[in-house]
Structure 1
Amino acid sequence: MTLEDRLARSLHEGLARLDVPPGDLDGARRAGGRLRRRRRVVAAVVAAAVAVTGLGVLAWDREADDRVTDPAGSGSWQRMDDAPVPGRAMPLAGWTGEEALFVGGDLEPCPPAADCVVPSVPARDGAAYDPDAQEWRVIAEAPVPMGYWFRTTMVDDTMVIVGDGRWWAYDAGDDAWTRLPAPPAPTEDTGSISSADGRVLAMSRRGRVQVLDLAARTWSELPAAPRRLVGAVVATDDGVVVSGPTRGDGTGVVAQIWDGSSWSEVPVPQRNSFRHWTGERLVELDPQRGADGERAGGILDPATREWSPLPDRLTDSAGGGWSVNAAEGPLILGWGYLYDDRDGSWARQAPRPEAAQTEGVSAVWADGRVIVFGGVDSSAQSYEPVSQAWAWRP
């Protein structure tokens, strides 16, 4: 599989490695706590006012299309010092609250249309960047190569990683790796993981939500949902949401909501699973359309069961090949757009710097700014991975 193919699959999964990004839950709770109190006052009125086949559908304000502005914010991309590790494509990324972590990735990405004998050479090394001090440091080498297909989530300053059937934790404060116990049931290799309050959530292959208490190093399991889904799991302020297709063709997506005591189900007219919690809503920022014209992404408020489509003006080519995807609380950057869930506004991201790599980059929100590292210089005949790093603040 070429790097181009892998990028397409990664984008189609919809920020698949950003299950609950670094700082996401803390930032989301701060941003969402005040709004949640106001929302509950009107939730019953809204839910009664709109219903389509049992799903409250909140029609997106058509003026929202006019809020797609250009460019995003007033900032621009700034070149940082190169990382002190070899170049790579699609490293794993996370935010500790002080440093942006980049671990593993593909050291020898395969050029498009090439028939590579070894499709991927994962890295074991990594680096951390302190945006306040503007300094890099090399971190302890991982016990095993960390491929781009591994999944991550952050618990404070610890990056939890699952891949190839094994679980690991990297403690940035101690600069140390530890092996974590495996869950009772195997998880999907391409499945999502999420975290909240020191616990990590993962879907088993039989469709059950498994919960790792990171401090105790013990696993438990939520009660089975009425319908078996093999999809994405996301921790919210009030519980857990599992979403995924109900049919073999990948369509018929539903969201199953665990409120701490019972499950409920909401059908959503989109093609992809939800992978990000903003503090108020679940958002899948993927403007692609299927053959039936249905969008891959959408927005769901699990408290009111209201679903909103993405604005019509969003396209899947706004990024111009600049595949920067990152999410933190109410802010989501992806597909060339910046979405702010606090006011539902959209903006096109700042244009890609001419000198920046175009493919295979990884990005993370870091205290209000986006840090980008890695990628491939596709203009070079050798298709070499790079150690470039960029920063942008909206």
Structure 2
Amino acid sequence: MKPRARWVAAAGVALLAAGCGETAAGPGAGGSPTGNDGGSWRPVAESPLSPREAPLTVTVGDRILVMGGSDGPPCPPNADCVAPPPPLHDGAAYDPAADSWTPIADAPEPVGGGVDTSVVVGDTVYVSTVIFNLEGGRTSTTFQSYDAAADTWAELTPPDESEWRYLTVAGDRIVAYRGSHEDYTGGTLEPLDPLPADLVYDAAADTWAELPADPLGPSYDRRLIGTDGGAVLLASDLVPNPGVDPPVVHAATLDLAAGTWTELPDGDVVSGYGFSRVGDLLVSALEESSDGGEVNNWGRGIPYGGILDPATGTWSTLPERAPRDPLDGFMIPVGNLTGERTIVSGAWALDVPTLTWSRVPDSPDDEHVQGQSAAFIDTSAGGQVMLWGGSRWPGWLEDPESMGDGELIADGWIWTVPAPPG
């Protein structure tokens, strides 16, 4: 029998996308204090890198690595454009304590900046990049590693020919998994047949092996989150008519050493896609809820965010936070950022142990900027968020029809997340 879900209310005081990463500036732009007790952005030292969009930003130890990205012509906001040229190979390491940069060795293959396409094991970054061939219209996938201690790269064997793979670390092993079992080739939501296996990497042999099949069956919004001893899978049933019934997020834990799965209670959240690991918990700090709309109304609002303790199978609601108009304020691009105790998502940072919120300061740029990359690092000064790169579009905020040409930028900014009370 499937275990029954246990829910607890999270007590707290409310204070407060690799892709284009679209953002909008708000009041208090230009690095000035925002007035929301969240502090402000400060510029970082000039980088040795050229202007670019969507580089890979990843934290290794006390440095933030900025690698690859695109220096092709930027695509205007809300426009459809041809695929950019292959990503760049160069990179640099930023030291927040010294506010200084150090160039790093060039990668043998291009480095893209997609969400969940890189992981860190010790001092080594593993990165998978999908490269679009402009002439043949085909894609290829590279897999390579960067040893930050030795400043060396290695070309590795990609998981398979599929481009639909995300990376996570289960224990100390890299796992490549699919975000959905949908078969996109037929124009339907039918599941792939057979279901593709998730894969685990043997770094010593440079080979991939299949993980045991999970117990959740055909799924979409699959999110595999690594833990010390394995991983937790969150997923929603792949059904012919999604949205008719209230969503249910199924969960299961993988014991990597034993090769076994154990189902956990279901979660009463819209999707597991926004969850990330913070300490021993899995957290999604997404705002708002959904009631299914007018046609298939579910009779109640179901939240997008929540907290799961995989050790006990207990799901919790997020603490309350101040209401916010979706167009009000700056939102962190490129998914979630996490640290030892913090998750930053959209316009909010949540200190998980104390369940207290901070608002992300307004944009440090007076103009519309998209294609920024972001990273989180724990420092002696506290948790810090770094923004870097992107493209600036003068005039778009005032009048999109008469905006100027976009320009690639190499600007970087740091925000120190406010310390929790007490």
Structure 1 match to 2:58: 94
- Separation in structure 2 between the aligned mates of residue 302 and residue 287 of structure 1, nearest angstrom: 22
Larger of the two Rg values belongs to structure = 2
- The answer to whether the Cα contact below 8 Å between 1:337 and 1:348 also exists between their aligned partners in 2 is yes
Instruction: Name the residue aligned to 2:6.
Output: 56
Matches within 5 A, 1:342-353: 342-353=353-364
Question: C-alpha separation between the residues in 2 aligned to 1:369 and 1:241?
Answer: 27
2:408 maps to a residue whose letter is P
Deviations 1:275-320 (A, max 9, x none): 4111221112221434524332221111121112334546573772
1:153 equivalent in alignment to 2:152 = no
3-state secondary structure, aligned to 1:67: coil
**Structure 2 counterpart of 1:221, from 187, 210, 215:** 210
How far apart, in 1, do the equivalents of 2:65 and 2:339 lie? Answer: 15
Residues 158-206 of structure 1 show CA distances to partners (whole Å, capped at 9, x for unaligned) of: 11111233311112222222111233x555x344311255321221573
- How far does the alpha carbon of each residue in 1:89-142 deviate from its partner, in whole angstroms, 9 at most, with x for none? 221111110321111223233102434344565322222112223221222222
- Report the Cα distance in structure 2 between the residues aligned to 1:156 and 1:139, rounded to whole angstroms: 18
Amino acid at match of 1:317: P
Match of 1:6 in 2: none
Contact 2:370 2:391 in 1 (8 A): yes
Q: Which residue of 1 aligns with 2:175?
A: 201
Offset at 1:67?
2.6
Q: CA RMSD in A?
A: 2.9
**Alpha carbons of 1:109 and 1:245: their partners in 2 closer, same or farther (altered >3 Å)?**
farther
Mapped to 1, the partners of 2:122 and 2:36 lie a distance apart of: 29
Name the structure where strand makes up a greater proportion of residues. 2
Gaps of at least 5 residues in structure 1 are: 1-51
CA distance in 1 between partners of 2:330 and 2:84 (Å) = 22
Deviations 1:233-269 (CA, angstroms, capped at 9, x unpaired): 1111343111122124384321221235432223212
Instruction: Indicate whether 1:254 and 2:253 are aligned.
Output: no
Partner SS for 2:408: coil
Say whether 1:114 aligns with 2:79.
Answer: yes
**1:61-210 counterparts in 2 under 5 A?**
61=11, 64=12, 66-69=13-16, 75-107=39-71, 108-119=73-84, 122-149=87-114, 151-164=117-130, 165-183=141-159, 189-203=163-177, 206=195, 208-210=197-199
Structure 2 unmatched ranges of 5 or more: 17-33, 131-140, 182-194, 293-300, 396-403, 418-422
Could you tell me whether the CA contact under 8 Å between 1:322 and 1:358 is conserved in 2?
A: no
Contact 1:323–1:360, Cα closer than 8 Å, also in 2: no
Residue range with higher mean Cα deviation, 337-346 or 150-159: 150-159
- Please give the secondary structure, in 1, of the residue aligned with 2:106: coil
TM-score (norm 1): 0.76
Take 1:315 and 1:171, find their aligned partners in 2: how far apart are those partners? 42
Q: Which of 293, 315, 321 is the aligned partner of 1:307?
A: 315
Residues 319 and 349 in structure 1, CA contact (< 8 A), matched pair in contact too: no
1:40 matched to which residue of 2?
none
Q: Distance in 2 between matches of 1:121 and 1:180?
A: 18
The sequence identity of aligned pairs, in percent, is: 32
- Counterpart residue identity of residue 89, structure 1: E
